[in-house]
Structure 1
Amino acid sequence: MRIALLAPLPPEQTGIADYAEHFRRSLEAHGVEVMTPLQGCSRENLPARLAEFDWGQPQLVHAELGGGRLNEFHALDYLRRTHPKLPLTATVHDPERLVWRRAHLPWPLSMAERFPRPWPQAAALLADPLTLHEERRLARHLRRAVTLTELGRQHLATRMGLAAEQTATIAHGNLDIPPAALPPLNPLRLLYFGFIYRGKGIEDLLRALAKVLQRQPHLRGQLRLTLAGGTAPEMAFDPAGNYLDELRQLAHELALSDCLDWQLNLPSADIAQTIQAHHVMVLPYRESKKLGLLGEMRGTSGALSWANACGRGVITSDARAFAEEVANGNGATYPQGDIDALATTIEHLALEPQLATSWAEQAGVIGAARRWSATAERFLTLFRAACGET
């Protein structure tokens, strides 16, 4: 089978780029020829790249949609118009919407982009009915729209007006990583893993850990937290200031410096070893209030996939569709933004560390079922069905 994959790919530093690279390799291992016609393509070069490529080559085009990117969406819409019989499918990483925003606001709303906040945001909100119309038009043309969770599938189908047979749930694939025993339970090692930038709730995690140590002073020295992950300049350094310095200052103010470790810009070859050197991953994500005006984001996280692959449990907020991902005895959830609830959850784990063992066992079972080799087979079945439709 020959497919064209429209997706960001490394060296771009995003979770979707990492996902797409593993996806591509797993399909190729199953004998699929995967073309990547948009690799390295800028927004400005997109029209020329689309016009130059021979779209008669692939039997099917699959896109990875999400992460605020628009190239893949516009490419699919181009193909909808110019090659209406070419089967199109997509994995939607941020349901219930496909892209959430337009590349350019229509006139006269575009004039608001010249002014300071909140005028551009207000204009984007006013333009949302048009954005939603364009998303629905493309979504209904897709042979299949894939989500990583069942909750995401339900929300996407409802918001985009899709028939049941147009949607499917295929869980986030993960690497086949040899299991490793938990380290000794004292000290108990917690891990935040992922890209480090604002909006991930990392401040909540630091404040919660400080509360636990205030309530249970004897746990100091028995409880450690590692912040590990990528710190691309455009993420860590923004107009609001140096986020990493802000985190370090907050840790100092909360008297956490003696129980906090940093592993920044973690090489990909060290990810599994780092996760397995810890007992439990903690993902304190918060929903974006801005996106809440446009809909409900019900995606998941690549970090959760890594936890399963490495056989480690997770404490996570109930943002996105995380509650579904830890509903099988592989972790615990708490209400997003509730620092007291997060502190209570960490405290409960610290006082009953055997929970980490049971969570790890169940995570390993989930990870084995979601290996990329099996995930690729599920996608191949879906692609063949999509190509068989007239």
Structure 2
Amino acid sequence: MRIALLSPLPPEQTGIADYAEHFRSSLSALGVDVLTPLRGVSGADRLTQLSRFDWSQVQLVHAELGGGRLGEFEALDWLRRHHPQLPLTATVHDPERLVWRRARLPWPLSWLERLPRPMPQICALLADPLTLYEERRLARHLRRAVTLTDTGARCLSTRMGLLPGQAVSIRHGNLTLAPGELPALDPLRLLYFGFIYRGKGIEDLLAALAQVFQRQPSLRGHLRLTLAGGTAPEMAFGPAGNYLDELRALAQQLQLPDCLDWQLDLPAEAIASTIQAHHAMVLPYRESKKLGLLGAMRGTSGALSWANACGRGVITSNARAFAEEVSNGNGTTFEQGDIAALADAIEVLALHPQRAVEWAERAAVIGLARRWPTTAARFLELFQSVCRENQ
């Protein structure tokens, strides 16, 4: 089988690019010829490449949609118009929408969005009916829309008006890793892992840890937190200032430096060992209030996949579809933005560290079931089914 993959790919530093590379290599191991016609192509060159590429040489096109990117959506829509018989599928990483916004607003909104805030946000809201119409049009043309959770599939189907069976869930694949024993339970080591930028709730995590020490002073010295992950300049050093410096200043203000470790720009080969050197992961994500005006984001997280692969439980907010991801005895959730609730969850785990052992055992079972070879086999089965329907 030969397919075309439309997606960000490394060296781009995004979770979807990492996912797509594992997806590509795992399918290739099953004998699928995966072409990447838009790799390294951007802007106006994308349309030229779409026109030049021989689409008759592939049986199916699959795209990775999400992460605020619009190029893959526009490429799929071009294929819908110019090659309507070519089967199109996509993994939708941010349901209940496909892309949430248009690349270009219609006039006069395109002129008004240049004005100071909040005019750009108002323009996006005014253009949303058109955006939603275009998303639904493409979604209904897809032979299958894949989400990473059942929650995401239900929400996507409802919002996009899909037919029964058109949206399916295939869990986030993870690497096959050797089991790593939990370190000694004293001190208890918690880990935030992921790209470090605003909107991830990291400030909430620091504030919650400070609350734990205020309520349980005896835990100081027996509880540590590591902040680990990527710090892509365009995300960590934005117009609002240096976010890393802000986090360090907040940690100092909350008197946390003695129990806080930093592992920034973690190399890929060190991810697994870093996660397995800890007892549990903490993901304090918050829903975007801006996106909340347009719908409910019900995606998941690559960090959760890493936790399962490494056999580690998770304390996570109830943002996105995270509650579903830790509903199998591999962690617990708290109300997003509720710092006291997060502090409670950390305190309970610190006082009852055996829970980390139980979470780890369950996470390891889940990780084994979601290995990339198994996940790729599910995608291959789906692609073969779509191609049979197209005959």
Pairwise same-fold verdict (TM > 0.5) = yes
Distance 1:174 1:197 in 2: 23
Code of the aligned partner of 1:311:
G
Q: Secondary structure at the match of 2:102?
A: coil
Distance in 1 (alpha carbons) for counterparts of 2:288 and 2:27: 33
Structure 2 partner of 1:36: 36
Per-residue CA deviation, residues 126-184 of structure 1 (Å, 9 max, x unaligned), is 00000000000000000000000000000000000001121110000000000011000
Letter in 1 for 2:119: W
Aligned-partner Cα distance in 2 for 1:222–1:241: 33
TM-score, normalised by the number of residues in structure 1: 1.00
Alpha-carbon distance, 1:44 to partner: 2.5
Q: Distance in 2 between the 1:114 and 1:209 partners? A: 41
Corresponding residue of 1:346: 346
- Residue 104 of structure 1 pairs with residue 104 of structure 2: yes
Q: What amino acid is the match of 1:239?
A: P
Deviation at 1:363, TM superposition (A): 0.1
- Show the counterpart of 1:267: 267
Q: 1:315 is matched with which residue?
A: 315
Aligned to 1:67: 67
**How is 1:18-57 mapped onto 2 (pairs within 5 angstroms)?**
18-57=18-57
- Structure 1 residue aligned with 2:227: 227
Q: In structure 1, what is the equivalent of residue 136 of structure 2?
A: 136
Instruction: Show the counterpart of 2:362.
Output: 362
Q: Distance in 1 between the 2:41 and 2:245 partners?
A: 33
The reply to whether residue 88 of structure 1 matches residue 88 of structure 2 is: yes
Give the corresponding residue for 1:146. 146
TM-score, normalising length: structure 2:
0.99
The answer to whether residue 206 in structure 2 is matched with residue 209 in structure 1 is no
Q: Deviations over 1:320-348 (max 9, x none)?
A: 00000000000000000000000000000
Deviations 1:1-47 (A, max 9, x none): 00000000000000000000000000000000000011111122111
| Aligned position for 1:175 | 175
Structure 1 residue runs of 4+, over 6 Å off? none
* Cα distance between partner residues in 1 of 2:67 and 2:380: 24
CA distance in 2 between counterparts of 1:50 and 1:362 reads: 45
Tell me which amino acid in the other structure corresponds to 1:336.
Answer: Q
Segments of 5+ residues of structure 1 without an aligned counterpart are: none
* Residue identity opposite 2:350 in structure 1: A
In structure 2, what is the Cα distance between the partners aligned to 1:221 and 1:333? 25
Secondary structure of the corresponding residue to residue 17 of structure 1: helix
How far does residue 113 in structure 1 lie from its aligned partner after superposition? 2.1
Structure 2 Cα separation of the partners of residues 37 and 149 of structure 1: 28
* SS class of match (2:346): helix
In 2, distance between residues paired with 1:165 and 1:209?
44
Q: Distance in 1 between matches of 2:162 and 2:51?
A: 29
Match of 1:189 in 2: 189
Alignment correspondent of 1:291: 291
Q: Residue type of the partner of 1:373?
A: P
AA of the residue aligned to 1:64: E
Q: Counterpart of 1:12?
A: 12
Q: Matched residue of 2:62: which SS? A: strand
Amino acid in the other structure paired with 2:338: D
Cα distance between partner residues in 1 of 2:232 and 2:251 = 21
Question: Residue 279 of structure 1 aligns with which residue?
Answer: 279
**Match in the other structure for 1:330:** 330
Cα distance in 2, alignment partners of residues 165 and 204 from structure 1: 39
Query: 2: distance between equivalents of 1:63 and 1:381?
Result: 17
Partner of 1:302: 302
Which one-letter code corresponds to 2:375 in the other structure?
T
Letter in 2 for 1:141: H
The structural deviation recorded for 1:64 is 0.2
Q: Deviations over 1:344-378 (max 9, x none)?
A: 00000000000000000000000000000000000
Residue identity matched to 1:349: L
